[in-house]
Structures are given as structure tokens and as C-alpha cells.
Amino acid sequence: MSHLDQLLTSLTRPLTQQVFRTQASSSPSALVLRETHHDDQRTLRTSDQPSAEATVIAIDVSGSMDEPYTGAANKLAAAEAAAITFVVTKASISPADHIGLLSFDERARELCPCRPITEHRKDVIRTVQTLQIGGGTDIAAPLNQARAMLAFAPADLQRRIVLITDGHGGQPLEIAQTLQAEGVVIDIIGIGDRAELVNEGLLRRVASVVDGQSRYVFIRDLRALVQHTTSISRRVTRKAVMP
């Protein structure tokens, strides 16, 4: 068995158990999300319906991602672990889903197109493990790139972006509002040792609202990051927009 296969085996069993524990829980604490209310954002809800999702994972590779992070060698290593967690969990509980991958600093790079997760799960994981630290940060760049990637997904799939970053930069609000109007779910995960190092006010506006809670969260250690990434692997679907 290869090192990658061993990694997949070791991750899949505990993560799948954690996902089903989360799904069975009716407690609001099952999701580590912050409650918020935005009159100008589209409200979404979690779903047990069989319709699949197309998700693009966007990972920040800016220079500051080389900084230490609790539980991991650095922030990039933590983001890689979070991405692998999401892919392995999705493949286990939602094999009909599609998955794509991009990295970004001041520009975005498509690394794996958005394709059925059963076709290229291992390729996505291998690619995650080869990411290199880059330059600055532009949050708008990955949103634009992800939108282009999701355009090739089947029309009946719920579209989604999971973005992991330790900073701020660019002007992402306009593209975020366009994506939200199109029904795309945007999960934003801020990582680091201090939340004030990211523009939380802006990132909350970029993130979607699901079940009345913002899909933005700031996480300071690897254990909590993996738990959160597992919890957001549940599907979400559109709900009627309130006037």
C-alpha cells in the first residue's frame, strides 16, 4: 500500500464517523459558525436531499502562509490538511459530488478542474501536497477563478467554494455578491493566531449565510480546523430569497 493510500485509509474512517456524529446532532454547536444577519445576502439551508454539489477548494499560498500554526508545521500545511479532510470526507459521504482545486496569492491558478470526485480524488490530494508558497494576497482572484471553473459543472449541481486564507487583500465584495446572487455557497475559513490579521468584516460579507449563520469562521489550531472542515462537508441547497 502506498503512502497516499495509507493516508486516505487513516483519514477516511475517523472523518466519516465524525461526519455522521455531526449530522445526527441537533445542537447548534455541531457547526463552528458565527451567527449573523445580512439583509442583502441570500439565505441558504443545509439539505439531506440527494442532489450533488460541485465544490472548488481555494487555498491561499501567499508568503505569510509559511508562518507557524498550532498543530502544524505552518499555515500552508494546516490548509493542506483541511483540504485533504474535505476531499476524503466528501468522497466517503457524497461520491456523486464534483471537486476542483486552485491556489492563489495575488493571482489564482487552476490546479485541478472541477470533475467527479470519484475520478480524480487521489490526483487532487497529490496536488494539494505539492503547493508552494507565493507572494501577496488578492481574495477576489480565487473567487473569479472558481466561478469560471464551476461554469463547466453540470447545471443540476449546487455550486460551492471553500476558501482558506490567513490574510486580506483585493476587492472581493463585487464578485462575492455576483456569486451569491447565482446561488453559489461560499465558505470562508480564516486561519492564524490572531483574527485581527484578517479583514473579518469583509470576509463575513463575502461568505454565504446558511441556516441563519455566516459561513465565515476564524480558526487558530489544526485540530479545530479539521473538525470544522469535516462539519461543512454536509450539503447545502438554495432557499427562497426573502424580499
The enclosing domain of 93 has a CATH number of 3.40.50.410
Instruction: Answer whether residue 243 is part of any domain.
Output: no
Mean pLDDT of 175-197: 95
Into how many domains does the chain fold? 1
Residue 238: what pLDDT?
55
Is residue 22 over pLDDT 70? no
pTM of this prediction? 0.81
Instruction: Answer whether residue 66 is part of any domain.
Output: yes
Quote the CA–CA distance of 4 and 20 in Å, as a whole number: 24
Backbone angles phi, psi at 119, to 5 degrees: -85, -30
With b meaning 16 or more CB within 10 Å and e meaning fewer, what string describes 9-38? eebeeebbebbeebeeeeeeeebbbeeeee
pLDDT in tens, 207-243: 999 888 899 999 999 999 999 999 999 887 654 333 2
Instruction: Answer whether residue 32 is part of any domain.
Output: no
Is residue 9 over pLDDT 90? no
Residue 216: what pLDDT?
96
Instruction: Answer whether residue 35 is part of any domain.
Output: no
Q: How high is the mean pLDDT of the chain?
A: 82
Residue 63: what pLDDT?
95
Helix (H) or strand (E) holding 141: helix 140-150
Instruction: Answer whether residue 213 is part of any domain.
Output: yes
High-pLDDT (> 90) share of the chain, %? 70
pLDDT in tens, 24-39: 333 332 233 333 334 4
